[in-house]
Amino acid sequence: MDAAASSPLGWLCTGVTTLFGVPLAQRSPLGKAKVLLCSLLPALLCVATLGAGGGLGVFVAVCLVCSVCLGHRDLLPVADRAVLITGSDTGIGHALAKYLDSLGFVVFAGVLNKDGPGAEELRRSCSQRLSVLQLDITNTAQVKEAYLTVSEKVQNAGLWGVVNNAGILGFPADGELLPMSTYRLCMEVNFFGAVEVSKTFLPLLRKSQGRLVNMSSMAGGIPLPRYAAYGASKAALSMFSGVMRQELSKWGIKVMAIHPSGFRTGWCLTFWPQTHLLSCDVAPAGIEGTSEQWDKQEKELMENLPADTRQAYGEEYLLGLRNYLLHLPSHCAPDLSPVLASVLHALLARRPQGLYTPGKGAYVPLCIFCCFPLWFYDFFISKVLSAGSAPRELRASGDEGKNI
């Protein structure tokens, strides 16, 4: 067994096993146990009994069968279930509102601007079941008003689902460069807004023993350069989702988090280069949804930099941040159907997963982060997310990449 397990094929068997086991586990409450039981132990058994080559083939086949059998694809009927979606002006929220409406859901589409083009498009193209709600999730009065409107319409049936989709990215830049206003805004929208909506609508979810679905991000599960503010806010949302999943289970309410891969939803994009794409959330039009607002954020970033920090990074590096942003769309998938399918499964599956990672390669960086030493993950990220020139002082001193 020692010889087989230490051979290259033996290690390959274990590695492939882990890659299949991690997405199967989906980081649910039993996720870590499932990874161990569904990957490492069977891998070693296959290698011990069949040798490295045979063990690899057999175990991959077993993992595929397990993925199908444990997929929990049995869905509940739609049956006029009511769902609230925040951030429905554009992107994922807009597409999701249309998609759920087409399936027969009673949709409450929360928008930042009820008179904007996104809201008008929903009224024009969707059925009479869909209601557009003025809902800035950072505005307590609007959240309460939305609750009263929804409560009056659903009455004793309750609300089946809340999808906290609204979110903002903020200008992607090194954490040292970001102004505190960006950190506060990301937390206010991505975390505090979602928490307030969840807490406000939980009495209606309790009536139906329904679902709470939070649109988080891969950047909230693994550290990514240039996303300190965004990633921290999404990490808070992911942790909130996990705790609420445990606490609300006694009421029959199921809580899920969605960590999408890279999808094109307008200006708000986070990417994984080439074929491996990371998460992005829709930025509600009017907060972060236009090029003019990106210009405003960039200007604020530049104006708030201390002189010594500006000198250390240099103008070339700072200007490269805009190029980084402008190239993001080309790395993101335009087809949102994997995300929509994950949300639908979270809403209707009898046994939904605790975490969904829709999109190509979404689980790969998570697997590396969970299963490898941190230095290896940091090295991996530094190579994959290498971006343009180094700061001026590092180029001048020749220290670029020395600590990677």
Q: Catalytic residue at 230?
A: yes
In the block, tokens 């980084």 appear at 324
Distances (CA, A) of 122 to 44, 94, 197, 286: 53, 8, 21, 17
Taking the C-alpha atoms of residue 16 and residue 43, their distance in angstroms, rounded to an integer, is 9
Longest Cα–Cα distance of the chain, Å, equals: 69
DSSP state of 116: S
Q: What share of the chain is helix, strand, coil (3-state, %, to 5)?
A: 55, 10, 35
In sequence order, the β-bridge partners of residue 161 are 83, 211
Catalytic residue among 99, 147, 230, 313: 230
Taking the C-alpha atoms of residue 161 and residue 258, their distance in angstroms, rounded to an integer, is 14
In the block, tokens 């070693």 appear at 44
Report whether 95 contacts 334 (CB < 8 A). no
Residues catalogued as catalytic: 230
